[in-house]
């Protein structure tokens, strides 16, 4: 997020009699305005899914420790300072150990982390049922309510004064104040929806009323100027606040933040993304999509899908991530952007949110395929297993390495979205329509479908192996369809057994395998997708190639020579030092392989006894999943051109 960044959405659909919404689950009866769009499928509440042991659960557990380690009074310090009230330790008179990085008192986006953490705590409470996360969220909400009252500015709430908003309205230089307010507003809404915190809704509603009075007098010319500054997904939050309360002022606010300059060209299917700040752009589509769902008409899905497909096909890397120095590059020019600043994590966070919206509209497997790719190859490996810290970028520079945050002195935008990413792994595993269950991801978990009286246990060592076992632990007593995603990468076919009996597989990769029957307790469905090695060439250069095994991007392990990572963390010193970070790539690291890209398995062989580990026959390069490479250098894209003078990587 240079001097701009991201914003968000959580889209757990739910189904209930009183009102229905594409926003998070666990909120029956909490929406005054029902969505008019009837989705193809609904997501389950996070509380209905519990993760079993896996790498995903390990990531979530590391996140839990970090969430619990940050004291509320430290998060509230900048808010209280802004309000001129006592900002010390709630438990005594000690001076606060202030948070650093983007939460420093001289940083214009201070306060954004409190919003992310409110969301993270709410998601973690829903994902685990552990009351400690609700208790901590309640404490933060109480503190923010006290600050809002002390400020006494018609509902305004932030860790910075309104002058930053005024600068934005005047078109003067300022770092994304509405983006920061969106994080706070979104976190409060999540606390209400997931944690039953009515005080959070009251604080959010007062923020909305202040914003309406603040923006109502704005002229069209002034509006055009101020919308050029990043505002994240605040339009999506205002749509959700409108849906919850029925207050038309919030709908007006959401429509106010429709950015014509960026969105109108998409209606004409024009790709104008080059040089646009990617994470400023993506959340605009979230608001557009939320409007489409509420209204049930218009071209919102068509526009959002065009944007999504354009990003996926022409602006993304093999990992599902996108951007170079946070900006979209020229379409199909991946090989020219293999730098140390590719793949901002917030972009993937928001693309996954948009993907979930679009999937519920149509239930097309292409969305689930992308979700899997980006989740495994970026989000899962965003967290450092040794410390739980978060990487801002996923560098594509050959010989680079991941650079992580610190517990108290970074708080970049991607740290904020990371608090949410690691708490909601259960959100996209399962979906349902009226009569059937969809299994989209092969993440070990248990699902309780309360409305149908059905409970399913999913066991798998995927992606180490291609077999998944589904056990019916409680049966609905009536026929129901089970739709298992047939991944687009599964070109070697699929096999399915029900209670040990093989059944014919209809369909093809990029669709669903559907089994219709009356299920009984104890029924077991085993599905196997053989995984194969494949090449993924850059769009603009068939000689620049990444390799994947099934959906998993493999990277060459290049050691630690020249790395200057202080133990135990590796953070840059300044707010944005990740743009000047010197990876010190050794001259001896080569990104050349002599491989037939049409038959990679002829030259890349599995290492005996090692899961998901391969070695190139000629060069002896060890290849492992990118998500498993930490505190080491790596290469993702290779130059397949033996004897080329380009056999040494560019340095930076």
| Cα first-last separation, the chain | 21
Q: How many residues does the chain have?
A: 652
Instruction: Tell me the pLDDT tens digit for each residue of 421-465.
Output: 999 999 999 999 999 999 999 999 999 999 999 999 999 999 999
What pLDDT score does 28 carry?
62
- Token digits of residue 407: 């517990």
pLDDT at 32 > cutoff 80: yes
Distance CA 485, CA 110 (A): 42
Instruction: Tell me the pLDDT tens digit for each residue of 175-192.
Output: 999 999 999 999 999 999
Strand duo 467-474 + 634-635: pairing:
unpaired
Strand duo 604-606 + 495-498: pairing:
unpaired
pLDDT band for 7, please (50, 70, 90 cuts): very low
Instruction: Tell me the pLDDT tens digit for each residue of 302-357.
Output: 999 999 999 999 999 999 999 999 999 999 999 999 999 999 999 999 999 999 99
Domains of the chain, residue spans: 42-428, 434-460+467-528, 533-639
What pLDDT score does 95 carry?
77
Instruction: Tell me the pLDDT tens digit for each residue of 40-54.
Output: 999 999 999 999 999
47-66: buried (b, 16+ CB within 10 Å) or exposed (e) per residue? bbbbbeebbbbebbebbbeb
Residue 482 preceded by cis peptide, ω within 30: no
Class of domain 42-428: mainly alpha
Mean pLDDT of 392-397: 97
What pLDDT score does 565 carry?
59
Mean pLDDT of 236-243: 98
Sheet containing strand 454-460, strands side by side: 49-51, 445-449, 454-460, 467-474, 524-528, 495-498, 501-503
pLDDT band for 150, please (50, 70, 90 cuts): very high
User: What value does the mean pLDDT of the chain take?
Assistant: 91
pLDDT band for 20, please (50, 70, 90 cuts): very low
Instruction: Tell me the pLDDT tens digit for each residue of 508-525.
Output: 999 999 999 999 999 999
What pLDDT score does 582 carry?
83
Say which CATH superfamily domain 434-460+467-528 falls into: Golgi alpha-mannosidase II (2.60.40.1180)
Burial bucket for residue 221 (CB in 10 Å: 0-12, 13-18, 19+): exposed
What pLDDT score does 563 carry?
86
What pLDDT score does 16 carry?
31
Strand duo 479-486 + 436-439: pairing:
parallel
- Token digits of residue 214: 């603040």
Lowest mean pLDDT among 30-34, 203-207, 308-312: 30-34
What pLDDT score does 477 carry?
87
Contact call for residues 633 and 563 (beta carbons, < 8 A): yes
Contact call for residues 540 and 332 (beta carbons, < 8 A): yes
Point out which residues pair with 515 in neighbouring strands.
482
Fold equal for 42-428 and 434-460+467-528: no
Contact call for residues 66 and 407 (beta carbons, < 8 A): yes
- Give counts: helices (H), strands (E), the chain: 17, 20
pLDDT band for 579, please (50, 70, 90 cuts): confident
What pLDDT score does 409 carry?
85
Contact call for residues 485 and 439 (beta carbons, < 8 A): yes
pLDDT at 124 > cutoff 90: yes
% of the chain surpassing 90 pLDDT: 86
What pLDDT score does 578 carry?
65
Point out which residues pair with 222 in neighbouring strands.
none
Instruction: Tell me the pLDDT tens digit for each residue of 626-637.
Output: 999 999 999 999
Mean pLDDT of 115-125: 98
């Amino acid at each position: 997020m240079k001097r701009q960044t991201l914003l968000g959405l959580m889209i757990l659909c739910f189904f209930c009699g009183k009102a229905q919404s594409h926003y998070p689950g666990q909120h029956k009866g909490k929406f005054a305005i029902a969505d008019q769009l009837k989705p193809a499928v609904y997501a389950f509440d996070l509380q209905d899914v519990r993760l079993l042991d896996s790498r995903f659960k390990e990531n979530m557990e590391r996140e839990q420790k970090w969430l619990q380690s940050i004291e509320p009074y430290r998060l509230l310090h900048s808010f209280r300072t802004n309000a001129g009230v006592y900002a010390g330790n709630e438990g005594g008179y000690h001076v606060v150990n202030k948070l650093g990085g983007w939460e420093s008192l001289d940083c214009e986006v201070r306060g954004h982390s409190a919003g992310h953490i409110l969301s993270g705590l709410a998601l973690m409470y829903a994902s685990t049922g552990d009351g400690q996360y609700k208790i901590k969220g309640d404490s933060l909400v109480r503190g923010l309510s006290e600050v809002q009252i002390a400020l006494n500015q018609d509902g305004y709430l932030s860790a910075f004064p309104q002058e930053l908003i005024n600068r934005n309205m005047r078109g003067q230089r300022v770092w994304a104040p509405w983006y920061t307010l969106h994080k706070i507003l979104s976190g409060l809404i999540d606390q209400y929806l997931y944690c039953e915190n009515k005080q959070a809704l009251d604080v959010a509603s007062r923020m909305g009323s202040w914003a309406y009075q603040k923006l109502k007098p704005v002229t069209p010319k002034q509006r055009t100027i101020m919308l050029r500054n990043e505002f994240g997904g605040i339009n999506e939050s205002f749509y959700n606040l409108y849906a919850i309360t029925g207050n038309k002022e919030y709908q007006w606010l959401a429509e106010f933040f429709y950015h014509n300059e960026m969105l109108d060209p998409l209606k004409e299917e024009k790709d104008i993304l080059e040089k646009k700040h990617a994470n400023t752009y993506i959340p605009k589509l979230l608001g557009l999509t939320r409007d489409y769902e509420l209204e049930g008409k218009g071209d919102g899905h068509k526009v959002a899908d065009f944007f999504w497909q354009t990003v996926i096909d022409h602006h993304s890397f093999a990992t599902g991530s996108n951007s170079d120095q946070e900006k979209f590059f020229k379409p199909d020019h991946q090989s020219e952007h293999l730098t140390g600043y590719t793949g901002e994590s917030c972009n993937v966070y928001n693309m996954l949110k948009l993907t979930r919206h679009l999937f519920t509209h149509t239930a097309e497997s292409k969305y689930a395929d992308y979700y899997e790719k980006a989740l495994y190859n970026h989000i899962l490996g965003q967290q450092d297993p040794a410390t739980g810290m978060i990487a801002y970028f996923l560098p594509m520079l050959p010989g680079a390495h991941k650079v992580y945050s610190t517990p108290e002195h970074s708080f970049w935008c991607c740290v904020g979205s990371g608090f949410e990413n690691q708490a909601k792994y259960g959100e996209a595993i399962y979906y349902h329509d009226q009569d059937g269950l969809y299994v989209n991801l092969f993440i070990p978990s248990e699902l309780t479908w309360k409305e149908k009286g059905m409970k399913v246990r999913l066991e798998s060592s995927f992606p180490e192996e291609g077999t998944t076992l589904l056990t019916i632990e409680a049966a609905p007593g009536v026929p129901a369809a089970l739709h298992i995603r047939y991944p687009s990468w599964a070109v070697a076919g699929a096999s399915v057994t029900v209670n040990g009996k093989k059944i014919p597989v209809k369909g093809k990769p990029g669709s669903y395998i559907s089994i219709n029957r009356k299920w009984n307790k104890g029924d077991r469905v085993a599905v196997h997708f053989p995984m194969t090695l494949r090449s993924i060439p850059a769009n603009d250069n068939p000689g620049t190639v990444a390799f994947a095994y099934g959906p998993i991007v493999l990277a060459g392990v290049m050691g630690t020579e020249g790395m200057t990572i202080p133990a135990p963390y590796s953070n840059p010193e300044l707010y944005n030092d990740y743009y000047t970070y010197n990876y010190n790539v050794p001259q001896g690291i080569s990104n050349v392989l002599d491989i037939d890209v049409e038959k990679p398995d002829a030259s890349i062989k599995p290492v005996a006894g090692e899961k998901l580990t391969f070695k190139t026959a000629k060069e002896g390069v060890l290849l492992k999943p990118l998500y498993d490479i930490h505190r080491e250098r790596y290469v993702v894209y290779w130059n397949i051109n033996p004897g080329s003078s380009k056999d040494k990587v560019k340095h930076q």
